[in-house]
Amino acid sequence: MTERGKIVSRQNERIREAKKLGQRKYREQRGLFLVEGVRLVEEALAAGAVEQLFFTERLLASPRGQVLVSRAEARGVQLFACSEGVLVELTDTVQAQGVVAVARKPSWPQPAPGVLVIADEIQDPGNMGALLRTALGAGVQGLFVVKGSVDLYSPKVLRASMGAIFQLPNWPVERQEVLAFLEKTGAALVAADLEQAEDFWQVAYPQNLAVVIGNEARGVHPSFRQRADLVVRIPLVGPVESLNASVAAGVLLYEILRQHRCSSADSVL
């Protein structure tokens, strides 16, 4: 560090260690990940997840950026001013906003009874991020992420989630763990399929359930399909084979929300 404490060398040890978090294996080993951009860093900071903050003068040029740094300092976060050339080592976007944080992965208690979602080997980062955001908006209790899915803490998933990753409880699991959980709690399993299924609006959804969203190419895994208490389909009128996974999840989750609200005495629907 030179220039009044600013990190100006790309070989700086802190930068090199933080840069490793761009790889999934290091994120999993350390329980840490990178958060880029003002909005996402604000969400991470509000969740108490930020451990280190790397920023440039570009961030401090705006009042919002100044407030962000002040809040981080007040929370005891380690602050590191950097040159633009150094911070680019940690960024994943073309137009960086002058701030990257190292955050710790949150831990969550066991899910409460209610509506859960199972992401069964979802591969596309945009799909996973949108699924997180949609599930949070629909009031879901949490998300089971089956092994083989895209990493929730990859940069593209984080951006697509728009901060939902810090608010929606999520748990990495093996498929058998989910099946055991359903057996133990008595939660109903809802699977979307086109074969031997009912239209999704014709089904009565119980209060305690899990909706499985299958792999983009293969759909719902046979073990979930066989265990399913309810198999529903989303009718396709136009000449398409299927819906985007996150869109299908949104359609189902909001029908479940509508039914649950309509069954409540204080419902406004």
| pLDDT tens digits for range 207-249 | 999 999 988 778 889 999 889 999 998 888 877 676 788 888 9
Residue 3: predicted pLDDT: 44
Residue 267: predicted pLDDT: 45
Residues pairing with 191 in the sheet = 212, 231
> Where exactly does CATH 3.30.1330.30 map onto the chain?
13-104
Q: What percent of the chain has pLDDT over 90?
A: 73
115-262, which class in CATH? alpha beta
Q: What pLDDT digit, counting tens, does each position of 4-44 carry?
A: 468 888 999 999 999 999 999 999 999 999 999 999 999 99
Superfamily covering domain 13-104: Ribosomal protein L30/S12 (3.30.1330.30)
d(C-alpha 32, C-alpha 17), whole Å: 11
Residue 4: predicted pLDDT: 42
> Where exactly does CATH 3.40.1280.10 map onto the chain?
115-262
Q: Nearest CA to 85 among 6, 149, 163?
A: 6
Residue 268: predicted pLDDT: 43
d(C-alpha 37, C-alpha 267), whole Å: 38
* pLDDT value at 141 more than 90: yes
Mean pLDDT, residues 49-56 taken together: 95
d(C-alpha 163, C-alpha 39), whole Å: 8
Contacts 24+ apart (CB under 8 A), 223-228: 223/175, 223/179, 224/118, 224/120, 224/175, 224/178, 224/179, 224/189, 224/191, 225/191, 225/193, 227/179, 227/182, 227/189, 228/189, 228/190, 228/191
Buried residues in 173-183 as b, exposed as e (16+ CB within 10 A): bebeebbebbe
Residue 195: predicted pLDDT: 76
